[in-house]
Amino acid sequence: MAETGDVMTPFGARLSAAVGEYGPLCVGIDPHASLLADWGLSDDVSGLETFASTVVEAMAGEVAVVKPQSAFFERHGAAGVAVLERTVQAAREAGLLVLLDVKRGDIGSTAAAYADAYLDAASPMQVDAVTVSPYLGFGSLEPFLSTAERNGGGVFVLALTSNPEGPEVQHARAGDQTVAGRMLGHLRERNAGATPQGSYGAVVGATVGDLTEDVAINGPLLIPGFGAQGGTVADLRRLFGGVWDHVLPASSRGILAAGPDVAGLREAARKVRDELA
């Protein structure tokens, strides 16, 4: 993890620097069974390890961020989690920022334990940032936010997701605001005054349709639903043009389909990266 003197560099600043060097692209590491099969790999720990290590090798020096999806590792049990740990360590050693997609959300000591597992410098699974769910109340995220702050990490909070069930909660109104709008407001407050941006981001889908919420939170915006899931560069420009410096589009299948050849994966990532420039 980058440090300046004895002060740990915040995630928001490290992300801005990485995006400045490699462009705004986050590549998922999503070893689901069908993709393992497409790569000619077995749906077991051996195939999982080959898949993950290949993606890390291909993306190192090409993109700013990789995003392992924890569930696809966890489905292989303790051995799969061990592969995830090695993948995280290898990616960080290769200079990639690692955003672990875990969507954790709990209260009190349990939330603190999750935060320690992923964001504390003493953890063998330490990553640069995690995804979390705020729907036990934004205050329930405090253990994640405070642990991230102490360790130079980042937190991405689900706000406006692309799944069709999301609006039931996210578009519900709390007084004169939607629930999503209130979450974005909390993030805006937490990021206030940070330069070049804060370390607390929001997850906003590329396929949400018309964007009616203010997503200017002075923090990063993780944009899933881009690429194979239907979101286009034109959609991103239309929805997020006013906050483009904070946008981090995420693509998984659209790039991973070019595997298992390392050169093919790199070329696919470069093509998307160039489209986003």
Q: How many CB atoms lie within 10 A of CB 165?
A: 8
β-partners of residue 200 are: 155
67 noted as active-site residue: no
| Helix, strand, coil distribution of the chain in percent, nearest 5 | 45, 20, 35
Q: CA 268 → CA 48, 51, 101, distances in Å?
A: 21, 16, 22
CA distance 222 to 229: 15
b/e code 203-215 from CB counts within 10 Å (16+ = b): bbbbbbeeeebeb
Which listed residue (32, 86, 92, 103) is catalytic? 103
| Contact yes or no for 219/183 (Cβ under 8 A) | no
Chain centre to alpha carbon of residue 5? 27
Active-site positions read 103
